[in-house]
Amino acid sequence: MAVVPNNSNLPRHVAIIMDGNGRWAQRRHLPRQAGHVAGVNAVREVVRQACDIGLENLTLFAFSSENWKRPAREVGALMGLFRLYFRNDLDEIVQRGARVRIIGNRGRVEEDIRQMIEDAERRTLANTGMNLTFAFDYGGQEEIAAAARELARAAADGRLDPETITPELLSSRLFTSGLPEPDLVIRTSGERRLSNFLLWQSAYAELMFVDTLWPDFGREEFLDALDKFSRRERRFGALPESVA
């Protein structure tokens, strides 16, 4: 049984690429929609567990900018599950004191979803518990390009000296401005890539690829990942004193 790490061993920010819903359904001879429904249940349990153990920041990759390329029926089902999750779970999130933030391109979603996003952020704005971020219609390259365009416009207008552009300044223009960079990025389902998720922010993140499909990623798997993280040595490009 996985042990709950104490707060001193917890990462400040955990980001998760939730992968494997379709394969979970396929292995059970179920439609892909059933896998996405099971995936929402896993979201619910991981969010609860993260709140219970006192995690400060949790970011979940809910829908990528590339997911629009999927069949229209599946995209519609994913949007429906997004609606259902916030209708059914927002009250609990509010009660747990979590603060919701949705990052990504809001211009491509339907108006009712945009309203739900704004309502979730407004209702939880004053909460002081865990920062719960959903990357929704999100792409890391698109995010970096948007930040670069903003700085370029400022420079062209004479409001910014290009020589003063630093990594910190660019970071302040990203969707995640104000959040610490992720310490741990977990990807489920056995795939070993970031898939355009938090590319800039994950420069020094610990990467953990687990074989468990997302719908099966529950309390034990989450705590096990945190335990493994606590035993990793993070050097950020430096050497340990024993070697230096």
Distances (CA, A) of 21 to 39, 40, 154, 212, 235: 6, 10, 42, 11, 34
Type of residue found at 68: W
Give the mean pLDDT of the chain. Answer: 94
Residue 97 CA to residue 120 CA, distance in Å, equals: 12
**Residue 232 confidence (pLDDT):** 86
Structural domain containing residue 90: 9-138+182-230
Q: What is the arithmetic mean of pLDDT over 152-179?
A: 97
**Residue 172 confidence (pLDDT):** 97
Asked if residue 188 is part of any domain, the answer here is yes
Residue pair 178/99 in contact by the 8 Å Cβ criterion: no
Asked about 19 being catalytic, the answer comes back as yes
CB count in 10 Å sphere of residue 9:
12
Asked if residue 177 is part of any domain, the answer here is no
Is the Cα dihedral 217, 40, 18, 236 positive or negative? Answer: negative
**In this predicted model, which residue has the larger pLDDT, 117 or 243?**
117
Say what the alpha-carbon torsion angle 116, 35, 143, 45 is, to the nearest 10 degrees: 70
Catalytic residue among 67, 89, 224, 227: 67
| Total residues belonging to the chain | 244
The DSSP string of 19-65 is: --HHHHHHHTT--HHHHHHHHHHHHHHHHHHHHHHT-SEEEEEEEEG
Asked if residue 167 is part of any domain, the answer here is no
Asked about 52 being catalytic, the answer comes back as no
User: How many domains does the structure of the chain reveal?
Assistant: 1
Q: What is the pLDDT of residues 21-42, one digit of tens each?
A: 999 999 999 999 999 999 999 9
**Residue 238 confidence (pLDDT):** 61
Range in 4-8, 14-18, 145-149 the model is least confident about: 4-8
- Indicate which CATH number applies to the domain containing 101: 3.40.1180.10
Coil, helix or strand for 82? Answer: helix
**Residue 237 confidence (pLDDT):** 62
Q: What is the pLDDT of residues 100-141, one digit of tens each?
A: 999 999 999 999 999 999 999 999 999 999 999 999 999 999
Asked if residue 104 is part of any domain, the answer here is yes
Entry pTM: 0.93
Catalytic residue among 9, 19, 161, 196: 19
